[in-house]
Amino acid sequence: MTGTQSSTLHKTEDPYFSRVDEWEATPRVDPIIWQETSHTGPWSGADLSAYQQDGFLFKRQLFDADEAAAMLTEADRLAKVANPHDEGVVAEPGSRIVRSIFRLHRISDLFQQICRDPRLVNAARQILGSEVYIHQSRINYKPAFDGKEFFWHSDFETWHVEDGMPRMRAVSISLSLTETNPFNGPLIVVPGSHQMFIRCAGQTPENHFEKSLRKQEYGVPSRDAMTMLVDQGGMAAPTGPAGSALFFECNTMHGSASNISPFPRTNLFVVFNSVPNAVCEPFGDQPPRPEYLAEREFDAVTPT
Ligand code: 6CS
Ligand code: FE
């Protein structure tokens, strides 16, 4: 299936247009739990309700300590051999320290296997009510002392505008390879924020991704929008041992502070998109981003 065939949405009737003159909040028009088909899965009814209500669910120690340690070894090996000029390798702002490496499911056997793990894939299929494919995968290193912040954003806003993801039918998973604690820059999520779409102010610059992956300045909410969302839902920063996973809805507002602690906060980030929601033409006015950021092969993942 190609993205163009899969989408019936035209830009003129796009409920999620963004990059406007003045920010605006508009209600989400898509379901959160999509159960069109009878995929059963690993999550309980209570898990699904919490995810529906909050826009995220934290699974402590979904992977055990040995599994997490093996992944961390592999992540550190990849960073050692990475060249900041290679496609898919992103450096921290103002330095050559590795911030992110993309397309893990293609460059590493171990991460390819993890991205097919039933604990992840079957949960994604259950939430999205369909077959799923990997839209994006990356390691975010958040190194001790040097790991800089990720400013507040909704992943969906960027994926819709810059990659052409039609609807809110994707789930992001941040799987911690190190302990996540209050000091090493944990991901902060805003409960309930997935219910509103925040149209962001500003025009998308050319080749925006070259800057945004180091420090994002477009496709981010205004201070007033953030204040409103946090007034309504508060903030949560789930912490726990290596191997814990935070599943969050693609439109949940999130961000993380710099890591000034002596502990890295390294995590695997993998995004499952619904196959019928495959990306098409971007909804913004720039050409599509490279495929290491947004896959354009939509092969359903078979959990193994
Ligand atoms: O660009 C992306 O696909 C993701 N990364 C960042 C820093 N912001 C938007 C989205 O979550
Ligand atoms: Fe994000």
pLDDT of 108-120, one tens digit each? 999 999 999 999 9
Strands 132-140 and 196-199, how do they pair?
A: unpaired
Pocket test for ligand 1, best of 90, 155, 207 (most atoms within 8 A of CB): 155
In the predicted model, what is the mean pLDDT of residues 257-278? 98
pLDDT of residue 36: 67
For residue 293 and ligand 1, the question of a CB distance below 6 A is answered with: yes
pLDDT of residue 37: 62
Stated as kind and residue range, the H or E segment containing 138 is strand 132-140
- What is the tens place of the pLDDT at every residue in 118-144? 999 999 999 999 999 999 999 999 999
**C-alpha to C-alpha distances, 265 to 85, 174, 286, 304, nearest whole angstrom:** 23, 11, 33, 27
- 66-88 in b/e form (b: 16+ CB < 10 A) is ebbeebbebbeebbeebeeeeeb
In the predicted model, what is the mean pLDDT of residues 209-225? 94
pLDDT greater than 90 at residue 7: no
* Ligand of minimum distance to the alpha carbon of 173: 2
Ligand 1: centre distance to CA 155 (Å): 6
In the predicted model, what is the mean pLDDT of residues 270-281? 98
Ligand 2: centre distance to CA 227 (Å): 19
CA distance 292 to 135: 9
CA distance 154 to 170: 12
Look up residue 236 and give its DSSP letter: B
pLDDT of residue 10: 58
**C-alpha to C-alpha distances, 33 to 118, 153, 204, 290, nearest whole angstrom:** 18, 21, 31, 29
Band (pLDDT 50/70/90 cuts) for residue 12 is low
Q: Which residues sit with Cβ closer than 5 angstroms to ligand 2, an ion?
A: 155
pLDDT of residue 35: 84
Please name every residue paired with 16 in a beta bridge, in sequence order, or none if there are none.
none
In the predicted model, what is the mean pLDDT of residues 234-245? 98
Atom 6 of ligand 1: nearest residue by CA position: 213
pLDDT greater than 50 at residue 81: yes
Q: Report the 10 Å Cβ neighbour count for 297.
A: 8
CA 276 distance to own-chain centroid: 19
pLDDT of residue 97: 95
pLDDT of residue 1: 36
Q: Are 142 and 264 in contact (CB under 8 A)?
A: yes
pLDDT of residue 39: 63
pLDDT of residue 84: 86
In the predicted model, what is the mean pLDDT of residues 47-70? 98
Q: Can you read off the two tokens belonging to residue 285?
A: 């006015």
pTM: predicted TM-score of the whole model, two decimal places: 0.95
For residue 153 and ligand 1, the question of a CB distance below 6 A is answered with: yes
CA distance 106 to 103: 6
Give every CB contact of residue 116 below 8 A, 6+ residues apart in sequence.
301, 302, 303, 304
* Closest ligand 1 atom number to CA of residue 209: 1
For residue 216 and ligand 1, the question of a CB distance below 6 A is answered with: yes
pLDDT of residue 11: 60
pLDDT greater than 90 at residue 270: yes
pLDDT greater than 80 at residue 3: no
Mean pLDDT for the chain overall: 94
Band (pLDDT 50/70/90 cuts) for residue 4 is very low
pLDDT greater than 60 at residue 158: yes
pLDDT greater than 50 at residue 2: no
CA distance 229 to 225: 6
